Amino acid sequence: MARATARHILVASEAKCNELKAAIEAGADFAQVAKDNSTCPSGRNGGDLGSFGPGQMVKEFDTVVFSAPLNVVQGPVKTQFGYHLLEVTSRQD
């Protein structure tokens, strides 16, 4: 069974999501940006979501997490919770 580990940052607006993505791409630390900005409780842990399998996260997450290249920030990804930046840190297919 496929498994992945990922981290994310959740914010309320697409504009804020794009702003944070630009900061990370310019060299800001993903974990610190998550701690400072994410509205998800995982933000306290640098956005770390731990290990999970297909179907354990919302559909939009699954689509990205089980197809995106590793260690590349993806997003904005819109879900019912808001806008996410996602980074897949490992995956076993």
Q: What is the mean pLDDT of residues 1-24?
A: 97
Residues 6+ apart with CB under 8 A from 76: 14, 17, 18, 21, 83, 84, 85
The predicted-structure confidence for 19-37, as pLDDT tens digits, reads as follows: 999 999 999 999 999 999 9
pTM: 0.95
pLDDT confidence band for 73 (50 / 70 / 90): very high
Bridging pattern class, strands 74-79 and 82-92: antiparallel
3-state secondary structure of 2: coil
How far is the CA of 46 from the CAs of 49, 59, 77, in angstroms?
Answer: 9, 22, 18
Q: What is the mean pLDDT of residues 36-47?
A: 97
Q: Enter the DSSP assignment of 45.
A: G
Question: What's residue 20's pLDDT?
Answer: 98
Biggest alpha carbon–alpha carbon distance for the chain: 36
**12 pLDDT exceeds 90?**
yes
Question: What's residue 93's pLDDT?
Answer: 83
